[in-house]
Amino acid sequence: MKILLAGANGYIGTRLIPILLEKGHTVVCMVRDKRRFHEQNDYSERVTLLTGDLLKKESIEAIPLDVDAACYLVHSMAQAADFAALEALSAHNFAQALNKTNCKQVVYLSGIVNDTGLSDHLRSRRHVEDVLKECKAAITVLRAAIIIGSGSSSFEIIRDLTEKLPIMTVPRWVYTKSQPISIRDVLGYLEGVLLNENAFDKTFDIGGPDILSFKQMMLVYAKVRKLKRYIITIPFLSPKISSYWLYFVTSTSYSLAQSLVDSMKNETIMKNHDIDGVVKRDCLGYEEALQLAFKKIEQNSIVSSWKDALNNGYLTSRFMDQIKVPQNGTLEYKVKQPFNRDSADVLKNIMAIGGSRGWYYWDWIWSIRGFLDKLFGGVGSRRGRTSNISVSPGDVIDFWRVLLADKLNSRLLLYAEMKLPGEAWLEFKIIERNGKTFLSQVATFRPRGLWGRMYWYLMWPFHLFIFKGMARRIVNFEEAQR
């Protein structure tokens, strides 16, 4: 079969591609920037790439006429307050583009919507189902609840809460029940319904065998991790307070925290099991799904993460065009640190920066900066990084976004996603000149107005210590020091 994937760079799409290739299918991936896909995927030469920003129909390349089926795996919830309008527009543009082909089926991964008084998030998912019916092709909708897997937003939030808080004071929504499903089973169902005529023009609930409240999910997580956790319910916590609480304790953004809290009032339990007659599958239980996620984390084999989705703003679909740091109207702080060791070892240290490795010098200052960023509505520094051993353009490193990770030319370029009165870049590069080798480390800031310039000079004393100390530690760091 020839299968089109919309959202191929996303959390689900990245994991579905190798499964489809292994089954012998021809895979066509719709992405916003082919360069990022090539950087991230070692199977990029085995798929056909189309470019297209679904929010801009004029940017969508022609889809091959002979595509057999399409998987629509696009969501906008974490990107903007008006995510519902964006999701509807994206689905409409996709349907119009697909109607020019001979596609027989569209598969959409939605959310379970069996409850009354749906949240904005679930109502949007339901509306997208209707929009996709503009397609001439048959529609198959898979409705899932919480997806558990390494790098999934639900797993990471449960992980953050349970790992960090021995005693939790929580709102009433912790008693809302859900039917979590492992990412492995979601992928199995997606592959199983493709061009399966028994699934045409049908909607299925999918879920694992366990029905659990959010409180039970956190306690089971604690049990698996051998942690003692106490959960105290405070019934009068408002949704807004709950959103702030989730935002500050976990790595989620505030807009995503709002959407999640809003959705947690709805039970997401399977009402029908019709999927069993179409795709027979013994799904993993919640505890098994957790253990599988831990195994992937321990092996440093997290394939994709929800945190790597691009935000609106500076980092748009063509963010890789910004790999040249601007020179006009900017302020810089440069450090040139000589070293005598193997450049390959220093490059490894550069590419491992952030996350569990930290920032090599005065990590506590970086943590305070991350906390202050959260106070002002920013992303904070708890996002970490998807992998401790590899880095690609578009990846998140704490409150930075990777613009370039060029091992051939020994260069790493980061763009700040923290709240700032301007824009900031941080560049690391190994330079060989006149028989000597240096680590070049350049912090660049483009201030916005007078306050932007004041901010830069107020931070200057910290730069003197932090950046010099960081460069020195990077060139001297040994793995045994950890």
Q: How confident is the model at residue 311 (pLDDT cuts 50, 70, 90)?
A: very low
CA 469 vs CA 58, 204, 414, 444: distances in Å: 49, 56, 18, 17
Residue 474: enclosing H or E segment and its boundaries?
A: helix 449-476
> What does the DSSP 8-state code read for residue 63?
P
Please, which residues have CB within 8 angstroms of residue 43's CB and are 6 or more apart in sequence?
17, 18, 21
Hey, what amino acid is at 122?
L
Decide if 11 contacts 37 (C-beta within 8 A).
Answer: no
Q: Which helix (H) or strand (E) holds 48?
A: strand 48-51
The rounded distance, in Å, linking the Cα atoms of 294 and 163 is 13
pLDDT tens for 10-48 read 889 989 999 999 999 999 999 887 777 766 666 777 899
Instruction: Give me the pLDDT at residue 315, please.
Output: 43
- Split at pLDDT 50, 70, 90, the class of 387 is confident
pLDDT, tens digit, for every residue of 166-177? Answer: 888 887 778 889
pTM comes to 0.78
Gap between the Cα atoms of 68 and 86, Å rounded: 26
CB 156 within 8 A of CB 296: no
Q: How far apart are CA 290 and CA 107, in angstroms?
A: 27
At 71 the three-state DSSP class reads strand
Per DSSP (E only), the strands in 340-435 are: 396-397, 400-406, 411-416, 422-433
The owner of tokens 């702080």 is 333
Residues composing the chain? 482
pLDDT band at 299 (very low <50, low <70, confident <90, very high): low
Provide the percentage of residues in the chain whose pLDDT is more than 90: 50
Q: Calculate the average pLDDT of the chain.
A: 86
Region 118-133: what's the mean pLDDT?
A: 89
DSSP at 322: G
pLDDT in tens, 339-372: 999 999 999 999 999 988 999 999 999 888 888 8
* Tally of CA atoms within 13 A in the half-sphere of 60 that contains its CB: 21
Interatomic CA distance for residues 371 and 385, integer angstroms: 17
